[in-house]
Amino acid sequence: MLEQVKAIASDAGTEILKVYESNDFGAQQKTDNSPLTKADLAAHKVICDGLRALGTQYPIISEESSDISWKQRKHWCRYWLVDPLDGTKEFIKRNGEFTVNIALIEKGVPVMGVVYAPVLDAMYAAERDRGAFLNDKPIKVTVNTPTTLRVVGSRSHPSQDTTDWLDALGKPYEMVPMGSSLKICLVAEGEADVYPRLGPTCEWDTAAAHAVLSAAGGEIMTITGDPLLYNQKEDYLNPHFIARPLSMT
């Protein structure tokens, strides 16, 4: 289904760009004080309609329709996890660093993922045991850790905890600022060496890029050393984590 999911992500990107190029984002605040625009809602509809048309009958969790009880979803073996527009703040700033994210989760693990950045025309896609790709070209994480670490960090959510964690490594590093799930994708394509996230994220923020990173030879581990898993608890919040190549210690 990977090609079909890529097409759905592309269609969602088209709808996002219609709003992006207009003078009315229809921006409003959600209950958690995060922004919501017409583009979020348009992409949500395109993706959900597209996934249902695949005929898989897998349930869908989207950031814009996540009010599903733990009692219901804790029994799911396989489901779609979607962020129709990750990086809404970047969207509003018009810096292009926002993405469409679609992941297939199986027993808590992302086994397929598509991350599409419509302004950058960058389509990351991966499927377990089939590899990871950027615009249909294979990508891999960096195998050898350089003397100076390239550390990707949030452009909109700087964290003192992250700075403290990096200083504790005792190793030279340079920051690579980036928005949305593109941070994880940079590690997947070898353009960054590590992405420490010691701040709040939700499962839909990371799942699709997590699938890309895993297929490219990387991993996401919690700071306690456990694999980052999905749909394992009542809320959707991720613990703090580190995205890195498997070869990195």
pLDDT (0 to 100) of residue 33: 60
Summarize pLDDT for 28-87 with one digit per residue, the tens.
776 666 778 899 999 999 999 999 999 899 999 999 888 999 999 999 999 999 999 999
Summarize pLDDT for 166-195 with one digit per residue, the tens.
889 888 999 999 989 999 999 999 999 999
pLDDT category at 20 given cuts 50, 70, 90 is very high
- Domain of 162? 149-245
Domain match, 9 and 101 both? yes
**How far is 83 from 181, CA to CA, in rounded Å?**
10
**How far is 243 from 67, CA to CA, in rounded Å?**
28
Please name which of 43, 76, 81 lies closest in space to residue 60, comparing C-alpha atoms: 81
Summarize pLDDT for 206-233 with one digit per residue, the tens.
999 999 999 999 999 999 999 999 999 9
Phi/psi region, residue 26 (left: phi>0; alpha: psi -120 to 50; beta: rest), is left
pLDDT (0 to 100) of residue 25: 79
**Could you tell me if 243 and 194 are in contact, meaning their C-beta atoms sit under 8 angstroms apart?**
yes
Domain match, 18 and 135 both? yes
Backbone angles phi and psi of 44, in degrees to 5: -55, -45
Domain match, 172 and 214 both? yes
Summarize pLDDT for 78-131 with one digit per residue, the tens.
999 999 999 988 888 999 999 999 999 999 999 999 999 999 999 999 999 999
Q: Which two tokens stand for residue 134?
A: 């950027």
pLDDT (0 to 100) of residue 172: 93
**How far is 148 from 64, CA to CA, in rounded Å?**
39
Domain match, 163 and 115 both? no
Domain match, 135 and 207 both? no
**How far is 162 from 167, CA to CA, in rounded Å?**
9
Structural domains of the chain, count: 2
Domain match, 66 and 37 both? yes
Please, what is the average pLDDT of the chain?
A: 92
Domain match, 9 and 132 both? yes
pLDDT (0 to 100) of residue 111: 98
pLDDT (0 to 100) of residue 31: 62
Domain match, 135 and 153 both? no
By residue count, the chain amounts to: 249
CATH code for the domain of 17 = 3.30.540.10
Domain match, 133 and 170 both? no
Backbone angles phi and psi of 63, in degrees to 5: -55, -30
Domain match, 80 and 99 both? yes
Q: Which two tokens stand for residue 12?
A: 């969602």
pTM score > 0.85 for this model? yes
**How far is 36 from 103, CA to CA, in rounded Å?**
21
Half-sphere exposure of 150 (CA within 13 A, CB side): 19
Domain match, 135 and 27 both? yes
Among 91, 106, 139, give the residue marking a domain's end: 139
pLDDT (0 to 100) of residue 233: 95
* Whether residue 14 has pLDDT greater than 90: yes
**How far is 25 from 35, CA to CA, in rounded Å?**
11
Is the residue at 204 inside a domain?
A: yes
What one-letter code names the amino acid at 167?
A: D
Domain match, 99 and 170 both? no
* Whether residue 198 has pLDDT greater than 80: yes
Is the residue at 231 inside a domain?
A: yes
Summarize pLDDT for 129-174 with one digit per residue, the tens.
999 999 999 999 998 878 899 999 876 666 788 889 888 988 899 9
Is the residue at 144 inside a domain?
A: no
Residue 134 pairs in a beta bridge with 124, 137
CATH code for the domain of 230 = 3.40.190.80
Among 119, 139, 159, give the residue marking a domain's end: 139
